[in-house]
Chain A
Amino acid sequence: MHVIETQNLSKEYTAKFSKQKVNALNDFSFNVEQGEIFGLLGPNGAGKTTLIKILLAITFPTSGSAKLFGTDVGNHKAKTKVGYLPENHKFPSYLTGEQVLNYYGQLSGMKQGSDMSKRIDEMLGLMNLTQWRKTKIKKYSKGMMQKLGLAQAMLSEPDLIFLDEPTDGVDPIGRKEIRDILAQIKAKGKTIFLNSHLLSEVEMICDRVAILNKGDLIKEGNVDDLTKAENIFAIHTVEPLSMELKQKVLGIDPGAGIGEREINTEAGIDKLNGIIDSLRSNGVMIQTVNQKTSTLEELFINVIKKDNTN
């Protein structure tokens, strides 16, 4: 059973005044497995928040289906094992930090009592908010509110947590703390669905990502696989290359980039082997051959640019 399962999910909005149709999601199908940290990427308006809202039945799809733990998201019981931190969440300002956790804990189905109190203490401690527990949240900073939101999402020990921009407004130290907490959650076998603009962060945390653009799923896969640049290889030699050898290499791959002891080729496996054969037959000692990697940010920008051009 998949933790999240969607099939041909589409969502069409109608603009209020112009009556123009806007496709927020187009025929979107994907699954998320237990224990994964799944990252959802995309430019503004790509449909990321719409997808999360459909999965939590905050918004309804125009067509297609979505399930959480095998139960249709239209059934509110599907959300029993789910925690959620919305972007720009708004807690009742008249409550203290402790009361907020108490309120949302009960709404999540937790029973008031010593177990819940213990769990609230634990969460406040984990977020470094213990000394602020009796303070009204209207006095909290943005970072504290974000940590309280995360504590709220984790309070009932859900098996699946949706986090929409969890480090938004949090300082670098706080971001590191949140990343560490997410790693702890993952170690417990929980599933995290992360929506973030901070690509470096997603790259550090996530096992698998999906890139959305204009409601379409344009790339999906493991972070390691996606960031491996296809057919880009670097050959490092022990000795400097002679002019004659450089000419030979250019004869095999005219587009190759050649340095003193380095050759970069994007011409594919056949040409790579041709270059290696040529070097070796001329007695050149090869030190390393690496497949180049790109950052998730580079990949993201390239993929979005390519999709927009198409």
Chain B
Amino acid sequence: MLTIIQNTFREALAKKIFIGYYIFYAIVILIMIFLVNMDSVEGVMSLADSKMLVHQVETGFLTISWNLIIFFSLISTASFIPSMLEKGTIDLLISKPISRPMILISKYLGAVLFVFLSMVFLMGSIWLILSLKSGYWDPTFLLSILWLTLAFAVMYSIVVIIGLTTQSTVVAILVNFFLIFVLCPLLSVREAVIFSLVTNETVKFVFDFLYYLFPKPGEFRDITTSLINGEQINMWKSSVNAETSTFTISWLSPISSALFCLVMMAYSIYYFTKKDY
């Protein structure tokens, strides 16, 4: 397993898209260094103020960049499965005394681990910059490393199944683009937007069904920002407080997304185990 994970890292580092991936990260870090100004009222700002300001910057940064980071991570790793399935490569891999599920799981974990370390680099750098600039060291921001990686892991299970069935990197990227930037955001605002336009109960049921069926990478961000800001998180159902107009996220989103990921991976393993190469 470790051998395949190690080779997945080598593959990631060898790909030109990896350079683009890190240029993007470097730009984000440079923006944080030069554009975020937190010392304009130095000496006057109380700890509570600087704490609030840091949380605001962190939340703002995550709101803007969350989906982009996940999507760039998916682009840089989407070719791993199709390239593994190329004729002459897959034959050799399967001929070794390793089970097929182990090959696929190792490849999946290699990609997830690669993205986790990239997140440590990116979010760790941003945390360091914000902490040095503000003087307030907020460890909860580092939770974004974990939640970004989990959101990626969920979405990567779709890349795996599409990669196995179509052997196409482009199709995998396009499907993920549609899910991350179109379908999932649309489904997450179904109650506020769609249901106000639609009265048919069947249509509402279909939207609800799709919402619970598909992963919710954007809501992983809401969980992260809630944890950073110390906000309450409901167990099963998100809610909106009519008086304060505040939205409270629930743990249901990551739980249902994790189940989706497990189902996708289980089917991928089944498919890979039965397929002739």
Contacts and interface: CB of A to CB of B under 8 A. Distances in A.
Do A and B interact with each other, yes or no?
A: yes
Contacts of B274: 60
A85 to B, nearest CB: 9
A206 interface: no
Nearest to B83: A92
A247 interface: no
A80 B10 contact: no
Contacts of B35: none
A108 B96 contact: yes
A103 interface: yes
Interface string A106-145: 1111000000000000000000000000000000000000
A86 interface: yes
Nearest to A77: B97
Contact of A88 (B11, B13, B88, B99): B88
A86 B97 contact: no
Contacts of B7: 92, 103
Interface string B83-105: 00011111111111111100000
Contacts of B89: 89-92
Nearest to A57: B94
A94 B86 CA distance: 15
A16 interface: no
A282 B91 CA distance: 67
A59 B11 contact: no
A88 B87 contact: yes
Nearest to A95: B10
Interface residues of A, number: 32
Contacts of B95: 56, 58, 79, 82, 84, 86, 162
Contact of B87 (A80, A90, A108): A90
Q: Which residue of A56, A77, A99, A162 has the most chain B CB atoms within 10 A of its CB atom?
A: A56
A88 B92 CA distance: 11
Contacts of A57: 94
A76 B98 contact: yes
Contact of B277 (A59, A94, A108, A162): A59
B276 interface: yes
Given A60-B276, A86-B92, A76 B11 contact: no
Contacts, number: 78
B97 A94 contact: no
Q: Which residue of B89, B97, B98, B276 has the most chain A CB atoms within 10 A of its CB atom?
A: B97
A86 B4 CA distance: 20
Contact of A90 (B14, B86, B98): B86
B3 interface: yes
Given A77-B97, A82-B95, A90-B88, A53 B277 contact: yes
Contacts of B10: 92, 94-95, 99
A76 B93 CA distance: 12
B96 A107 contact: yes
B88 A86 contact: yes
A84 B95 CA distance: 7
Contacts of A89: 88-89, 91-92
Contacts of B13: 94
Interface string A194-230: 0000000000000000000000000000000000000
A78 B99 CA distance: 11
A149 B4 CA distance: 19
Interface in B51-107: 86-100
A28 interface: no
B34 to A, nearest CB: 35
Q: Which residue of A57, A58, A80, A91 has the most chain B CB atoms within 10 A of its CB atom?
A: A58
A59 B277 CA distance: 6
9 contacts: A58-B94, A59-B277, A76-B97, A84-B92, A86-B91, A89-B88, A92-B11, A107-B96, A108-B96
Query: 10 tightest A-B contacts by CB?
Result: A94-B14, A90-B88, A84-B95, A106-B3, A107-B96, A59-B276, A86-B91, A79-B97, A80-B97, A56-B95
